[in-house]
């Protein structure tokens, strides 16, 4: 979904549980008298060179309603029985269209209430509706699917996607793990509104993005949790994590709910650390709002799982932590809500725009709370020997196997620190806010940042960014 196409009535309709047929005229077939519409197949790749199968073209996904019924089987697998209902808006007249879905089987697909043809091979689900979908006429797609879940790993070997655990599942998708649990246009540029309805064995809890709709309902030994994220969200930021969670709600700045879910089985020491860090979320949101502009989402909070994928992730409005949440990591994930989640990278090569900003923001929080200064942390990073991967990697094009490298995080943060020296404190302060605001709920590139910094500062910054973002060497002059 692009912000231009934002149609909250559809989201509202989904929340109210209305079916496709109730969503309006777009859902009904064309009158018989019209000449047949000729369409073309949508593409099966969104165009990101790092991920040659990711995403699709030919339509804009507006909403996803994911109905997930899950049972853990053992410590490494479970069974998922699910339905995904999507509304999408064709950007051209489509004879067929594509979604990403890996490792699960599709049993049926309907489009606007009528059974549709489909093929599903190598993670590509191609749907052929009975009649072409007309350009700009919204369609409702229902996909029934499911199967056995495992513990998928990404290209770098890290656990991601729907990670089955002994007590449920820990669900973290960055960068391309979303298709391990739902059919999706897995392109960070196609943000959408999501609702989740997650049914688990009684006693378990399911936590997703946004806010809970109603109280969990238990029937025949199974409990259904419903969640709704009202702001556009990239697919890699979705979660539907299941475990032995206690869910508590407090209030943050402007009254937003801060919803925390902590697994009952985290160790007492990890619980103490996590609770202390999470208690600071309201202050962090207030501090970052002063510097970055208003908090972009309607809720906040955290999931602390006793299981581990080995890292934390900034899942939208509800970051997730493996076993424990340290204060520095919480500051980092909260900062991502502005940088990464509200404004997301257009291409995965731009990932430093997420990680450099979040790392820099956590430095700011550290200094603000009496820890090491930003200056000292920047100096420590700069002291890294010239032979380090920090310098020999191209920060703004690190390659798909280096998305989470030091060259992205620490060099990214140092680049911002040096940019501040270069353009001055006032221009830098304005840049932080404008960057979070101008592309809010959308996407941006490194060149967009350069252009914005140049327009705010009135300086030519091409040499600065050449050195810091595009040259695989330790900068000495800039
Ligand atoms: N974006 C996450 C963070 O910085 C880190 C994700 C790491 N993922 C991985 N596969 N290593 O908070
Ligand atoms: Zn990060």
What tens digit of pLDDT does each residue of 422-477 get?
Answer: 999 999 999 999 999 999 999 999 999 999 999 999 999 999 999 999 999 999 99
Average of per-residue pLDDT across 56-65: 98
Rounded distance, CA 398 to CA 348, Å?
A: 9
Atom of ligand 1 nearest to the CA of 311: 7
Dihedral sign for Cα 17, 211, 69, 140, please: positive
Ligand 2 is an ion; residues with CB less than 5 A from it: 355, 358
Distance 26 CA to ligand 1 centre (A): 39
Distance 36 CA to ligand 2 centre (A): 50
pLDDT in tens, 338-382: 999 999 999 999 999 999 999 999 999 999 999 999 999 999 999
Q: Which of 312, 362, 400, 408 to mutate to test the pocket of ligand 1 (most atoms within 8 A of CB)?
A: 312
In three-state secondary structure terms, 194 is strand
Question: What's the confidence (pLDDT) of residue 229?
Answer: 98
Average of per-residue pLDDT across 203-209: 99
Distance 113 CA to ligand 1 centre (A): 39
Q: Which of 153, 172, 311, 401 to mutate to test the pocket of ligand 1 (most atoms within 8 A of CB)?
A: 311
Rounded distance, CA 270 to CA 321, Å?
A: 11
Residue 29 makes CB contacts below 8 A (sequence gap 6+) with 112, 114, 131
pLDDT in tens, 13-27: 344 333 433 444 444
- The residue ranking higher by pLDDT, 406 or 29, is 406
* Nearest ligand atom owner, CA of 237: 1
Question: What's the confidence (pLDDT) of residue 445?
Answer: 98
Q: Does residue 30 register a pLDDT over 70?
A: no
- From the list 166, 165, 53, 151, the residue with the least C-alpha distance to 103 is 151
The answer to whether the CB of 422 falls within 8 A of the CB of 171 is no
Q: Does domain 49-341 have CATH number 2.60.40.10?
A: no
* Nearest ligand atom owner, CA of 176: 1
pLDDT in tens, 250-309: 999 999 999 999 999 999 999 999 999 999 999 999 999 999 999 999 999 999 999 999
Q: b/e map of 326-352 (b: 16 or more CB within 10 Å)?
A: ebebbbbbbbbbbbbbbbbbbbbbbbb
Atom of ligand 1 nearest to the CA of 409: 4
**CATH architecture observed for domain 344-470:** Orthogonal Bundle (1.10)
* Nearest ligand atom owner, CA of 312: 1
Question: Which residues line the pocket of ligand 1, CB cutoff 6 A?
Answer: 154, 156, 158, 160, 174, 311-314, 332-333, 355, 404
Question: What's the confidence (pLDDT) of residue 473?
Answer: 98
Q: Which residue has its alpha carbon closest to ligand 1 atom 5?
A: 313
Q: What is the DSSP letter of 461?
A: -
How many CB atoms lie under 10 A from the CB of residue 16? 9
Question: What's the confidence (pLDDT) of residue 25?
Answer: 43
Question: What's the confidence (pLDDT) of residue 36?
Answer: 82
Rounded distance, CA 317 to CA 341, Å?
A: 9
Question: What's the confidence (pLDDT) of residue 33?
Answer: 73
Distance 270 CA to ligand 1 centre (A): 20
Question: What's the confidence (pLDDT) of residue 176?
Answer: 98
Q: Which of 404, 407, 410 to mutate to test the pocket of ligand 1 (most atoms within 8 A of CB)?
A: 404
Question: What's the confidence (pLDDT) of residue 428?
Answer: 98
Q: Does residue 146 register a pLDDT over 90?
A: yes
Question: What's the confidence (pLDDT) of residue 3?
Answer: 44
Question: What's the confidence (pLDDT) of residue 34?
Answer: 74
pTM of the full structure: 0.93
Q: What is the mean pLDDT of the chain?
A: 94
For residue 175, is the peptide bond before it cis, meaning its omega torsion is within 30 degrees of 0?
yes
* Residue ranges of domains in the chain: 49-341, 344-470
Q: Does residue 2 register a pLDDT over 90?
A: no
pLDDT in tens, 88-131: 999 999 999 999 999 999 999 999 999 999 999 999 999 999 99
Question: What's the confidence (pLDDT) of residue 37?
Answer: 84
Going along 124-216, which residue ranges are E strands? 124-128, 139-149, 161-165, 168-172, 192-201, 205-208, 211-212
Among 10-19, 43-52, 322-331, the minimum mean pLDDT is found in 10-19
């Amino acid at each position: 979904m692009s912000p231009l196409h934002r149609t909250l009535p559809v989201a509202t309709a989904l929340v109210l549980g209305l079916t496709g047929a109730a969503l309006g005229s777009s859902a009904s077939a064309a009158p018989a008298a019209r000449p047949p519409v000729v369409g073309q197949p949508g593409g099966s790749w969104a165009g990101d060179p790092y991920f040659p199968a990711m995403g699709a073209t030919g339509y804009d996904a507006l909403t996803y309603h994911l109905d997930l019924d899950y049972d853990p089987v053992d410590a490494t697998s479970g069974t998922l029985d699910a339905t995904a209902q999507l509304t999408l808006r064709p950007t051209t007249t489509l004879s067929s269209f594509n979604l990403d879905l890996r490792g699960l089987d599709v049993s049926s697909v309907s489009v606007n209430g009528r059974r549709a043809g489909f093929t599903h091979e190598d993670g590509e689900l191609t749907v052929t509706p009975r009649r072409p979908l007309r350009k700009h006429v919204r369609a409702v797609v229902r996909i029934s699917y499911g199967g056995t879940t495992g513990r998928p790993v990404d290209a770098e070997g890290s656990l991601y996607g729907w990670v089955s655990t002994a007590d449920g599942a820990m669900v973290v998708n960055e960068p391309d793990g979303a298709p391990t649990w739902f059919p999706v246009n897995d392109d960070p540029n196609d943000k959408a509104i999501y609702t989740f309805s997650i049914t688990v064995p009684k006693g378990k809890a399911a936590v997703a993005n946004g806010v809970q709709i109603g109280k969990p309902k238990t029937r025949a030994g199974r409990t259904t949790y419903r969640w709704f994220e009202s702001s556009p969200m990239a697919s890699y930021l979705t979660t539907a994590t299941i475990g032995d969670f206690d869910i508590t709600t407090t209030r943050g700045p402007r009254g937003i709910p801060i919803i925390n879910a902590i697994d009952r089985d985290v160790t007492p020491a990890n619980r103490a650390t996590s609770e202390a860090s999470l208690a600071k979320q309201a202050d962090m949101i207030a501090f970052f709002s002063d510097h970055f502009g208003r908090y972009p989402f309607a809720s906040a909070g955290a999931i602390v799982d006793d299981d581990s994928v080995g890292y934390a992730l900034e899942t939208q409005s509800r970051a997730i932590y493996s076993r424990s949440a340290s204060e520095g990591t919480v500051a980092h994930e909260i900062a991502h809500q502005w940088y990464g989640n509200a404004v997301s990278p257009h291409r995965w090569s731009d990932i430093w725009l997420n990680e450099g900003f979040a790392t820099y923001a956590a430095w700011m929080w550290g200094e603000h709370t009496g820890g090491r200064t930003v200056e000292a942390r920047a100096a420590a990073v700069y002291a890294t020997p010239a032979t380090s991967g920090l310098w020999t990697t191209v920060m703004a094009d690190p390659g798909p196997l280096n998305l989470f490298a030091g060259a992205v995080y620490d060099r990214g943060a140092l680049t911002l620190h040096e940019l501040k020296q270069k353009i001055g404190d006032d221009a830098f302060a304005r840049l932080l806010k404008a960057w979070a605001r101008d592309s809010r709920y959308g996407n941006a590139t490194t060149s967009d940042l350069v252009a914005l910094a140049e327009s705010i500062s009135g300086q030519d910054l091409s040499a600065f960014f050449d050195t810091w973002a595009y040259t695989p060497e330790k900068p000495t002059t800039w």
